[in-house]
Amino acid sequence: MIVYNEQTNVFKLDTQSASYVMGLADGRYLGHIYYGKKLKSTDLSDLLRIGENPFVPSENARDKASFLDCYPMEFSFGGTGDFRESCIEVLNEQGQAGLELTFEGYRIYKGKDALEGLPATWGGDSETLEITLSDAPTGFKVLLSYSVFADSDAVVRSAKAVNGSAQTVYLNRMLSACLEMDEEAFEILSLHGSWARERKIQRQPLGYGSIVTESIRGISSHQDHPFLAAVSADCTQTAGEVYAMHFVYSGNFLAKAQKTAADTLRMVMGIHPKQFCWKLEPGQVFQAPETVLVYSGEGLDHMTHTFHDLYRNHLIRGSYKDKERPVLINNWEATYFDFDTDKLLSIAREAAALGIEMLVMDDGWFGHRDSDNSSLGDWTVNEKKLPGGLHDLVGEVNRLGMKFGIWFEPEMISPDSKLFAMHPDWALQLKGRVPTQAREQWVLDLSRPEVVDYVYECLRAVLHTANIAYIKWDMNRPLTDIGSSSLPPQRQGELSHRYMLAVYELQERLITEFPDLLLENCTSGGGRFDPGMLYYSPQIWCSDDTDAVERLLIQEGTQLLYPMSAIGAHVSDCPNHIVGRNTPFETRGIVALAGAFGYELDITKISSQERTLVPGQIAQYKKYAPLIREGDYYRLASYRENHQYDCYEIVSKDRSTALLFLIQVLGEPNRRSRKLKLRGLDADAQYEADGKRYDGDTLMHAGFVHKRMHGDFQAEVIEFRRV
Ligand code: DGJ
């Protein structure tokens, strides 16, 4: 619910359990009043501390800078007196920057508008507040948009710049959100890693100055995640305060928490100002992406549940949104580039016999690509490997009763490709320089509409040749050489964002023309695992690291924000190809169960004993798939913290079933059994597990005694069913 109190000039947005409140100082400056536990009153303007030093400009124009530099700006602007982190910078024709954004008007409407060309949460039972701010001397405007949903505790917001001035201006910085709070000894939670080590949780105290997490790699990145949360020092899974921001965007981003001299906290999030400069002619508009805000007064669990539910109910789209995903087998780790129809079919035959439902043919099926150094851009089937083309191969796979999926890396161009020979100007490049290769490839200049059309026609041509049910959309390098031979000099700064808009356009066209296609995004594993991508694909390949132990850490960070149905998770072979570790097949199966489940190995080569385990693993996945897709996730213990074991639980929304996952990474001598306190159960009900009955309150408050496991890398999943 959204209300505006005209007497107090207060805007109040209520979610299920939180309130987000803004007000006006001097009737002009939009300030942040409060975000936290739900409040009844809208008479909250006192909290803006108007009437004390530094006084509002109308009372103290001679020291306006002091006011601007400490007022809790709802959308911060710089150059005129606020020296803290700014959300916007507009350079005018005179080469000068400086704004003073003041309140012009507002509207409240039912529903939520889509953001043109951008991924964003979508409607349902929702309500939106749009506030217009303007810069009086120029007529430049910013429209802030806030939406709340009847079934969610999140607030989503975005910002739109409108050049209402009479001259052409350049947006040097246009972030999406700013959140101002009184500093209460917050700690900062964020996610970091690298290739094969994505999204590991980091928590650190915040002192004076700033903590920044950012990407200028052209992708949201393996290294830093577009997420930042301020948490109270006492915050645990079940108690304490959390203020989280998550960016619905897949390219460069900046997220910053700044503790100011006035002991306040300013958090900002948006497209990274580096490599960004957007030209706006009079009347033109720039839409900045959406940021999701979540407040929890009950620790991290509630934050996680809010993100999971919002993404399941208001971000993911398409026919697989609420549907079981086929259990797939991907040939990448089985064959790498060394495959042909016979090899793929031998894998498919064995897989089909064991109950696997889809064969995914990975990299290497086109041009003359026998390693990663060639053919990207030439999307024609290599008939030496696949005689009879896709038509024959897919027909055979379908006859085995399996679906067929295919790998693409549409955004790339190889130096040796026919495409590059024909269009050397289609690669991103800086004039007079040979572009930097990464994985022996360059990036296509997707700011050119003809390149976007070419890529799309290649995709659709392949999809029309055979019965293809799934695409793995890969992207294996960061963006460098940010230059386009087609953009004029003043628009080169638009390239990184134009590139992202083109990726979104391509995926939108794809899922519109092929609504039953299952799209899985992938960026060298999880380099673009972000809410933006989730708008187009209901699942994303989480990491190239499929080692069961490393995956625990990667999945823990990912599950903090993303529902398990969004997390591509496969059982691979041992010794693991990346870390060389041996773990039991059963353990790999249990770790992959907490995701969109599949296999990534040569099923014809694994031991017969491992093969016999596959049907049971699939049956288990199928049995629990609805629960895993829809249930509430609870983190009970973390191997990251205790260096011994991992424990998490998934509980159905009606609390009738709970699955307890326990993975003992390292065995330890001379220890007693583990007492595990479950969460989210019905305290008044009884549950049965392994033929024994337990009271819900006992399981939650006193715990469940689990006998010590013997050995390293042991795993168990226990089902508790309400009786
Ligand atoms: C990176 C992906 O993450 C892998 O799964 C695989 O598809 C390779 N690329 C293929 O080049």
The pLDDT tens digits of the residues spanning 331-371 come to 999 999 999 999 999 999 999 999 999 999 999 999 999 99
Other CB atoms within a 10 A radius of the CB of residue 283 amount to 10
Of 445, 448, 473, 446, nearest in space to 379 by CA: 473
The CA 507 to ligand 1 mean position distance, Å, reads: 19
Provide CB contacts within 8 A for 95, sequence distance 6+. Answer: none
Look-up of token digits 């109270």: 232
The CA 474 to ligand 1 mean position distance, Å, reads: 7
Which residues of the chain, if any, have pLDDT below 50?
none
Atom of ligand 1 lying closest to residue 522 CA: 3
- The H or E element spanning position 599 is strand 596-600
Of 106, 108, 144, 110, nearest in space to 126 by CA: 110
The CA 174 to ligand 1 mean position distance, Å, reads: 33
Nearest CA to ligand 1 atom 6: 332
Nearest CA to ligand 1 atom 9: 524
Give the integer Cα–Cα distance in Å for 111 and 147: 8
Of 504, 564, 492, nearest in space to 528 by CA: 504
Polymer length in residues for the chain: 723
The CA 345 to ligand 1 mean position distance, Å, reads: 20
Give the integer Cα–Cα distance in Å for 62 and 324: 65
- Mutate which of 333, 409, 541, 572 for ligand 1? The one with the most ligand atoms within 8 Å of its CB, which is 541
Look-up of token digits 């064969």: 359
- Mutate which of 198, 337, 522 for ligand 1? The one with the most ligand atoms within 8 Å of its CB, which is 522
Alpha-carbon separation of residue 386 from 98, 372, 538 (angstroms):
61, 18, 29
- Pocket lined around ligand 1, Cβ cut-off 6 Å: 332, 362-363, 407, 474, 476, 522, 524-525, 541, 544
The CA 384 to ligand 1 mean position distance, Å, reads: 22
Name the CA radius of gyration of the chain, rounded. 26
The CA 524 to ligand 1 mean position distance, Å, reads: 6
How far does CA 261 lie from the centroid of its chain? 33
The one-letter amino acid at 300? L
Atom of ligand 1 lying closest to residue 472 CA: 7
Atom of ligand 1 lying closest to residue 525 CA: 3
Strands 186-192 and 227-232, sheet pairing: antiparallel
Atom of ligand 1 lying closest to residue 544 CA: 3
- Mutate which of 475, 524, 551, 567 for ligand 1? The one with the most ligand atoms within 8 Å of its CB, which is 524
CB 632 within 8 A of CB 680: yes
How far does CA 491 lie from the centroid of its chain? 28
Nearest CA to ligand 1 atom 1: 524
Nearest CA to ligand 1 atom 11: 363
The CA 121 to ligand 1 mean position distance, Å, reads: 28
Tell me: the pLDDT tens digits for 205-232? Answer: 999 999 999 999 999 999 999 999 999 9
Burial readout 117-130 (b: 16 or more C-beta within 10 A, e: otherwise): ebbbbbeeebbbbb
pLDDT at 273: 98
- Mutate which of 408, 476, 601 for ligand 1? The one with the most ligand atoms within 8 Å of its CB, which is 476
The CA 224 to ligand 1 mean position distance, Å, reads: 20
The catalytic residues are 474, 544
Give the integer Cα–Cα distance in Å for 470 and 518: 5
Gap between the terminal Cα atoms of the chain: 38
The CA 523 to ligand 1 mean position distance, Å, reads: 8
Atom of ligand 1 lying closest to residue 409 CA: 11
Nearest CA to ligand 1 atom 2: 524
Atom of ligand 1 lying closest to residue 362 CA: 7
pLDDT at 124: 86
- Mutate which of 194, 474, 573 for ligand 1? The one with the most ligand atoms within 8 Å of its CB, which is 474
Nearest CA to ligand 1 atom 10: 363
